Amino acid sequence: MTKGYVEFFLSNPKFRRLWAASVISLLGEWFNTIALFFLILEFSGSEFLLGVLFSVRMALFALSQPINGLLADRMSRKKLMLWANIFQVFLALSFLFVDGPEDMWWLIGMSGMMMLLHGVYVTAERAALPNIVDEEDLITANAIDSASWSTALCIGAMLGGITVSIWGTDMAFIIDSYTFLLSSLLLIPLTFEQSFDKSASGPLFRTAISNIKIGWSRIYNDKKLLRIVFAKSSWNLAGAGLAGVFLVLAGADLTGYGAAFGFGLFFFARGIGTGIGPLIARSVFKDKTKWPSLIGILVSISGCFYLLVGVTLDIYLPLTVALIICAHAASGGNWVLSTVLTQMWVEDEVRGRVFSMDMLILGGTAAVSTTIAGFLVEFNGLSLQAGFMSFSCLMILCGLVFTYWRPDISTKSKQ
């Protein structure tokens, strides 16, 4: 029987420690992100460079995933998370040397390296969660994780915007480095059992391709799993451009508030949405057999709310904020349901490689989406309203395509 949130949280000290480490590092990550937005627009004023920042971050996140998944199945997942945090302590401090337009590519490159390490952490963390949580509690654990990610986004983005406005970007980067250090200290005492795939042994790079193929084969041979690994990217193909470019530019254009506060406000709304979405999904969608169908529907619902954001952008700010919350509540539901299904369906020995493919597709679609969005704004004069409306229509379409694409059902029919 699934435990309630409080009962589960209080009864699992290992989850509490992993949760605390993740939330603290995420708080700093959003301080960092708001500061990076501010520096790019302040020093270059380029919407395209804003898209490039997201593209480089997501490309490195995506391209490293096959190796990250293999590492998560061959090495201690705890050590991977620990070392990823430690390296990011120093990378966060490297942004203190950015002081002009000539440093933009340094900024983008270092941000990309941090995202690569974040990919190592996320893949290891997702694969490790079933090692410390019983199967019947996975939906509760993932709902708490998603809500906490969102809370970190809310608080981190808003405080990051205030910090940058009052004390400047350097303070945000220093705070970010301290959060990674504290997160590392929390991870050190964490212990859990982990199964290793003996067939994955041997020199890492020599056996990497064959071991990655094992992960792909596990996905391809299970058609229901093949479909689910595209669940998050069905939102991200349009959602990354919406949240990563258009939402940032809309925040920068808020009159009377300042760019940093505008970023923080809209990302605060985004965080609230992605926080309440998984909680609503857990309480409303109790029949797990319906989850595969609901995932695509939630993408289209998110697109409908983003379409209304485009319509109301210059009308009434509180309404726009409320619509952003609703759009990301639907996307949060998509995220948590697809994640839990993957964790339930995949064996411990290959879970890291399967999640890495999930993140590879996710990161690849995000890189494409943000690059196109930034390019269209800077070089084709696409207005914010037109950008919101066109990308939200694409999101609605992606949700419908995903809903009706059921290779698992067609395979059963043939059999």
Whole-number Å distance between alpha carbons of 55 and 244: 10
Q: Is the dihedral of CA 237, 243, 244, 250 positive or negative?
A: positive
**Whether pLDDT at 56 is above 60:** yes
In which band, very low, low, confident or very high, does the pLDDT at 227 lie, cut at 50, 70 and 90? very high
User: What region, left, alpha or beta, does residue 381 occupy, with left being phi > 0 and alpha being psi -120 to 50 degrees?
Assistant: left
Alpha carbon separation from 172 to 121, 160, 383 (Å, rounded): 21, 7, 30
Is the distance from CB of 34 to CB of 260 less than 8 angstroms?
Answer: yes
pLDDT at residue 324, rounded to an integer: 94
**Whether pLDDT at 47 is above 60:** yes
pLDDT of 91-142, one tens digit each?
999 999 888 888 888 899 999 999 899 888 988 888 888 888 887 888 788 7
**Whether pLDDT at 250 is above 90:** no
What residues contact 239, with CB distance under 8 A and at least 6 apart? 302, 306, 331, 369, 395
pLDDT at residue 335, rounded to an integer: 87
Cα atoms in the Cβ-side hemisphere of radius 13 Å centred on 296: 17
Mean pLDDT for the stretch of residues 261-277: 81
Higher pLDDT among residues 33 and 308, named by residue: 308
Looking up tokens 């480490």 gives 21
Q: What are the residue boundaries of the structural domains of the chain, listed by start?
A: 9-190+205-414
Question: 174-184: buried (b, 16+ CB within 10 Å) or exposed (e) per residue?
Answer: bbbbebbbbbb
Rounded CA Rg of the chain: 20
**Strand, coil or helix: what is 405?**
coil
Q: What angle do CA 325, 293, 319 make, to 5 degrees?
A: 15
**Closest by CA position to 51, among listed 260, 250, 238, 244:** 244
Whole-number Å distance between alpha carbons of 231 and 220: 15
Q: By mean pLDDT, which of 17-21, 27-31, 78-82, 401-405 is the weakest? A: 27-31
Higher pLDDT among residues 256 and 168, named by residue: 168
Q: With respect to CATH, is domain 9-190+205-414 assigned 1.20.1250.20?
A: yes
pLDDT of 354-406, one tens digit each?
877 887 888 888 888 988 998 898 888 889 889 999 999 999 999 999 999 98
pLDDT at residue 340, rounded to an integer: 86
* Tokens (6 digits) for 1: 């029987």
* Tokens (6 digits) for 173: 């980067």
Whole-number Å distance between alpha carbons of 278 and 275: 6
What's at 82, amino acid-wise?
Answer: L
DSSP 165-224: HHH-HHHHHHHHHHHHHHHHHHHTT--------GGG-S-HHHHHHHHHHHHHHHHHTSHH
pLDDT at residue 162, rounded to an integer: 81
Mean pLDDT for the stretch of residues 231-252: 89
Average pLDDT score over the chain: 84
Mean pLDDT for the stretch of residues 302-321: 90
Model pTM? 0.75
Is the distance from CB of 181 to CB of 89 less than 8 angstroms?
Answer: yes
**Whether pLDDT at 82 is above 90:** yes
pLDDT at residue 130, rounded to an integer: 84
pLDDT of 170-216, one tens digit each?
898 999 899 999 999 999 998 888 777 666 666 666 666 776 777 78
What residues contact 373, with CB distance under 8 A and at least 6 apart? 51, 240, 241, 242, 244, 245, 246, 387, 391
Higher pLDDT among residues 198 and 90, named by residue: 90
In which band, very low, low, confident or very high, does the pLDDT at 330 lie, cut at 50, 70 and 90? very high
Is the distance from CB of 373 to CB of 391 less than 8 angstroms?
Answer: yes
pLDDT at residue 205, rounded to an integer: 66
**Whether pLDDT at 411 is above 60:** no
Q: Is the dihedral of CA 127, 129, 130, 132 positive or negative?
A: positive
pLDDT at residue 197, rounded to an integer: 66
